[in-house]
Amino acid sequence: MIALTITVLILICLVFSLWLSYYLGYKKHLNRHRVKRYPKRTGKLSLFTDGNELYTSYFKDIRNAKDSVEIQFYTLCDDKICNEFLAILRQKAHEGLTVRLLLDHYGSKNVKKEQIKRCRDAGVKVAFSHKPSLPYLLFTSLTHNHRKISVIDGEIGYIGGFNLGEDYLGNNPKLGYWRDHHLKVLGKSVDDLRNQFYRDYNMATGEKQTYVPQEHVRETGGIEHHFESTNGAHLQETFLAMVRRAKRELYICTPYFIPGKELTDELIRALKRGVNVKVLVPFNGDYPLVKEAAFRYYGLLLPHGCKIYRFYQGFYHSKVVVVDDKLCDIGSGNFNKRSFYINDEMNGFIYTASFINRVKETIEEDIQRSELLTYDSYQKRPLLQKGKEQVANLFSRFL
């Protein structure tokens, strides 16, 4: 009995210490990082929804760089397309350009050390965000820099949902064709992307690198937009404001639909006032339990008329929210608790109706390749599925 009591006390202490490590680490993180809302600007935005088209433009712009290449990704791996990407960076460094590459420690864990060494030996400045560290080991192990930002010569920017890898070209036999949304940016807002890159790079390295805004860059194009970075907070408030703003229709596109109670309640209020709410998610999940965690919220929304579409012609990874024809969000932030409470994210908000309508067209195209989840089929879920959902709900904050 004494041995059992001691064991239980040890387990309680262990669980409490882990919770305290996470809680204190999270609080410190929030105190160090604030939401950053960059100015509203006009510029030229190009939309990509296909990995082959994106990489063709992206690699061409990097190869043509004359001064600097500054790139930040969550995921980089060891495959053909990533090795080609790293080879281009090494070549640009050999040419004398300033080349910086910032990767998330967890998301890019599959990159071989030999590849990183080759890049550094060639002059590429490689750094990693969010390395696990004491005393907040649990929190630092769970939090990730999920942003995808690229700036080329201080004049061309890229931001969105695509990472780098063969998966994003549709070459994963399990996931199939990859659908996503990504932006190419020209204009003064590229400075804002560069600003965020250096904020993250300096945080990861302890350096105090600065950049000189490109004074010769003028506003190009007439698409009104701004960027916003969040660090494990504030993104939920942004999405709440978008849902409240909706008057006619609301599109929510996300691979991970785990909105939590507050957003779910706001969505129900939108449905009750007549907003046509459409949620587009993948049919199959790419990580354990994320698909199951969404069903709790499907069950709350379906009876109120929410339309849930599940994309079946490949994997759906887009992170897009569209409110009427007034506002569109494209970025790295998902409609899930991990993006709200843990991840560092970067989103772009677009206000020009012509561009928003183009985005809506791509979503409607994807809906045609999706299955509508009915409330009747939802209620007929097998018992094993329901059991997985209960387990998923326990870990939903981290999914």
Q: Among all residues, which ones are annotated catalytic?
A: 146, 148, 153, 317, 319, 324
What is the per-residue DSSP string for 129-166? E----SSSHHHHHH--B---EEEETTTEEEEES--SSG
Provide the β-strand partners of residue 361. none
Give Cα separations from 23 to 78, 341, 344 (angstroms). 34, 11, 17
338: which 2 tokens?
């991990």
Q: Are 28 and 137 in contact (CB under 8 A)?
A: no
Please list, in sequence order, all residues whose beta carbon lies within 8 angstroms of the beta carbon of residue 124, skipping any fewer than 6 positions away.
89, 90, 93, 99, 100, 101
Question: Please, what is the Cα angle at 252 between 250 and 257, to 5 degrees?
Answer: 140
HEC-encoded secondary structure of 12-78: HHHHHHHHHHHHHHHHHHHHHCCCEECCCEEEEEEEECCHHHHHHHHHHHHHCCCCEEEEEECCCCC
Q: Are 254 and 339 in contact (CB under 8 A)?
A: no
CB atoms near residue 357 (< 10 Å):
12
313: which 2 tokens?
């012609």
